[in-house]
Amino acid sequence: MITTIKEKENEKETILEPICYSNVNMFWGGIIAEVLARLGVQYIVISPGSRSGPLAVGCANNKKLKAIPILDERSAGFFGLGLAKQTHRPVALICSSGTAAANFYPAIIEARMSKVPLIVLTADRPGELRECHSGQTIDQIKLFGDYPAFYKELTLPEANIELFYYLRQTIAYAFERAMYPQGGPVHLNVPFRDPLAPVRDEHFLNWIKNFDANSFFDLEAKSYRGETLYSKPDADGLKIYKQLKNTKKGLIIVGTIQVEKTEEFVRQLVELSNELGWPVLAEGLSPVRNYESQFSNLITRYDVILRNNDIAQILKPEQVIQIGNLPTSKVLRAWLKANKPKTWVFENSSDNNDPLHGNTTFVRMHPMSLMRQYKESKSSHSNEEYSNLWKQVERQADGIISEYMSTCDAMFEGKAAWLLSKCLPKGTNVFAATSMPVRDVEYFWQRNNLELQMYFNRGANGIDGLVSTALGIAHCNKPSVLLIGDLSLLHDTNGLLIKKYFQGSLTIILINNNGGRLFEFLPIAQFRDIFEEFFATPQDMNFKKLAHCYGLEYYQTKTWEDFRELIKILPERGIRVIELITDSHFDVAFRKNLFKLTSESMKIE
Ligand SMILES: Cc1ncc(C[n+]2csc(CCOP(=O)(O)OP(=O)(O)O)c2C)c(N)n1
């Protein structure tokens, strides 16, 4: 039983209640938890360990925080990442010392690269127990290199009011750095001497008696979202605006992007494209394709369109506005690289997201800030002709792909993405895993008005932690769907251990082609003697048994009718696996043929 001042003195409930006063370490952990809660942190993911005891007790004991225990720190990190993606607020992670901390690394990298706020608290031994084989001690100083936006090793807890102020301020600053100027991970290394459990220290209890918690914790629960440093156009704004308006061939490319306020984002994008008259090329991993009726010039089939060299020549743009990271399509990237249009990357962070090293200018603001300011300026050119050409080939490509998909009875992997975009319930969260699933979403996701919310880990493109991230997105949220390959699922089966605490509904659509079949499309696929064993790496797993082992619902679908039935209504709770067993030889051939025939049949009239 945790001793609190309330229990000790039998006072009525006060702010002191959630904080354990038994000893200075517990109090230290309690301050950290209370400050995080006051600043707006909702979730804390706690992995087990002794050294992290004061942090775990402090957070688990705080009623304002939702603490979730997860055994494997790698899964815990990604689950926290998913929660932070879902809530757009920092999520805290707690672990013990040693390799426990190192297991957070992949999630920290992804958080940094996809700008997701995480507050990582790793417990550590004090200085005198380091470098002397004291057990479960590694060098945790700057363990995650330059990935965290802010790193600090905290001082050891001491019964000293000035140190409590220092602690409060450091936590508040770490929270701010996890949000500003852009989302990302921060790392606090937190050393403790014994005791690590809430054992009573009468001396401390006596000393802390007069501590005024009400004034100490009187922090404002600030929202740090809003106008940023970059959000106002400066004197060059008009110059940029005029250049944008005076083109006959302008294109907006919306790549992989997750936004907090989807509807507002879509509305502003529609306004931008109407103002300029430029077509909008939208990745499947942007929200845009799921709001199609709002756009008059939406282009989704750019990958296959640009496979036709003649059409690709005609459609060369003069100027491009890039929003978000570039789409995955290699064809689109190669076309941009070859043609080097003047590119305006509207990016509300300090990131360099120009992997093509093109003719690029970064504009650190939202494009609509610019548009609104200068809207009155007249344009001397119209983009209409160019826009109409795009729309013409889009109609053709979309018609052919739809025809292929609707008549295909075979288990072609791309059809799963296509059907999801047509049949899922409105507003479903969709997480597309790395490898072929993200590509299938880009190639085949059908324009719709289902307001589906797209999620992905495209910061570092790892196949690790994808199950955990999707579970974090689905936790206490609307029913969600994960589209994933067999290797990626196997890579993170530990993520399924969260089942006991998971609240919500996740449907895992497993495309089982027995191995990493993305590699079938790379030059290495021609070297068959080495390919299967060291690249495709088939695991021959029985997923039905695996699902049962974790207590998950399991279905295998052999027809698209069954698949449709299973996805059109999603369960309110639980984790279920829908397995589609596919044949990669058929799949590769079908896909190549589809792209070839579609791109060859298009023409501009
Ligand atoms: C952590 C990590 N290890 C290795 C890779 C390299 N990799 C990229 S795709 C892939 C295969 C994924 O296979 P699967 O999930 O079955 O999807 P498929 O390609 O069959 O669609 C691998 C190993 C990676 N991206 N991340």
Q: What is the pLDDT of residues 571-585, one digit of tens each?
A: 999 999 999 999 999
Beta strand residue intervals within 71-111, DSSP E: 91-95
Residues 6 or more apart whose CB falls under 8 angstroms from that of 344 comprise 240, 244, 319, 320, 321, 322, 360, 361, 363, 367
pLDDT of residue 363: 86
pLDDT of residue 254: 97
CA quadruple 255, 256, 260, 261: dihedral positive or negative?
A: positive
Domain chopping of the chain, boundaries: 6-224, 228-394, 412-582
The residue whose C-alpha atom lies closest to atom 23 belonging to ligand 1 is 516
DSSP 212-276: -HHHHT--------S--TT-S--TTHHHHHHHHHS-SSEEEEE-B---S-HHHHHHHHHHHHHHH
**463 touches ligand 1 (CB under 6 Å):** yes
Give yes or no for a contact between 93 and 119, defined as CB atoms under 8 angstroms apart. yes
How do residues 92-105 score in pLDDT, each as one tens digit? 999 999 999 999 99
Read off the tokens for 592: 């190549």
The answer to whether residue 12 scores a pLDDT higher than 70 is: no
The residue whose C-alpha atom lies closest to atom 25 belonging to ligand 1 is 462
Distance CA 588, CA 586 (A): 6
Q: What angle is formed at CA 418 by the lines to CA 413 and CA 422, rounded to 5 degrees?
A: 145
Distance CA 491, CA 469 (A): 13
The answer to whether residue 13 scores a pLDDT higher than 70 is: no
**310 C-alpha to ligand 1 centroid (Å):** 34
How do residues 363-390 score in pLDDT, each as one tens digit? 887 777 777 776 666 666 788 999 999 9
**249 C-alpha to ligand 1 centroid (Å):** 38
**517 touches ligand 1 (CB under 6 Å):** yes
In what side-by-side order are the strands of the sheet with 505-512? 453-455, 429-432, 480-485, 505-512, 574-581, 553-556
**488 touches ligand 1 (CB under 6 Å):** yes
The SS3 assignment for 68 reads strand
Distance CA 119, CA 43 (A): 11
Give yes or no for a contact between 144 and 211, defined as CB atoms under 8 angstroms apart. no
In this chain, the answer to whether the domains covering 6-224 and 412-582 adopt an identical fold is yes
| Arithmetic mean of pLDDT, 439-464 | 98
**116 C-alpha to ligand 1 centroid (Å):** 22
Kindly indicate the confidence band of residue 21, based on its pLDDT and cuts at 50, 70 and 90.
confident
Distance CA 512, CA 469 (A): 20
- Say whether the peptide bond before residue 181 is cis (omega within 30 degrees of 0): yes
Distance CA 549, CA 472 (A): 21
**463 C-alpha to ligand 1 centroid (Å):** 5
How do residues 532-554 score in pLDDT, each as one tens digit? 999 999 999 999 999 999 999 99
**399 C-alpha to ligand 1 centroid (Å):** 31
**328 C-alpha to ligand 1 centroid (Å):** 15
- pTM > 0.85: yes
The answer to whether residue 467 scores a pLDDT higher than 90 is: yes
Read off the tokens for 405: 């998909």
Is the pLDDT higher at 291 or at 220?
291
Alpha helix (H) ranges present in 140-220? 161-179, 202-208, 213-216
How do residues 103-132 score in pLDDT, each as one tens digit? 999 999 999 999 999 999 999 999 999 989
CATH number, span 228-394: 3.40.50.1220
Read off the tokens for 453: 């919310």
Instruction: Please report which helix (H) or strand (E) contains residue 123, including its range.
Output: strand 118-124
| Arithmetic mean of pLDDT, 416-420 | 98
Residues 6 or more apart whose CB falls under 8 angstroms from that of 327 comprise 253, 255, 256, 281, 283, 285, 302, 333, 442
Residue with tokens 């942007």: 286
Read off the tokens for 438: 């993200």
Read off the tokens for 6: 């309330």
**208 touches ligand 1 (CB under 6 Å):** no
**581 C-alpha to ligand 1 centroid (Å):** 17
| Arithmetic mean of pLDDT, 549-568 | 97
**434 touches ligand 1 (CB under 6 Å):** yes
**462 touches ligand 1 (CB under 6 Å):** yes
Residue 204 β-bridge partners: none
- Which architecture, in CATH terms, is 6-224? 3-Layer(aba) Sandwich (3.40)
Closest CA to 367 of 298, 257, 267, 268: 268
Residue 121 β-bridge partners: 94, 188
**584 touches ligand 1 (CB under 6 Å):** no
The residue whose C-alpha atom lies closest to atom 12 belonging to ligand 1 is 516
How do residues 303-347 score in pLDDT, each as one tens digit? 999 999 999 999 999 999 999 999 999 999 999 999 999 999 988
The answer to whether residue 2 scores a pLDDT higher than 80 is: no
**486 touches ligand 1 (CB under 6 Å):** yes
Other Cβ atoms within 10 Å of 386 Cβ, number: 23
Give yes or no for a contact between 47 and 73, defined as CB atoms under 8 angstroms apart. yes
Ligand 1 atom closest to the Cα of residue 516 is: 13
Closest CA to 515 of 545, 535, 542: 535
Q: Average pLDDT of the chain?
A: 92
Ligand 1 atom closest to the Cα of residue 484 is: 15
What does each C-alpha distance from 33 to 13, 65, 537 come to in angstroms? 18, 8, 44
Distance CA 258, CA 455 (A): 7
What does each C-alpha distance from 278 to 271, 307, 385 come to in angstroms? 11, 21, 10
CATH number, span 412-582: 3.40.50.970
Read off the tokens for 240: 């940029």
Kindly indicate the confidence band of residue 17, based on its pLDDT and cuts at 50, 70 and 90.
low
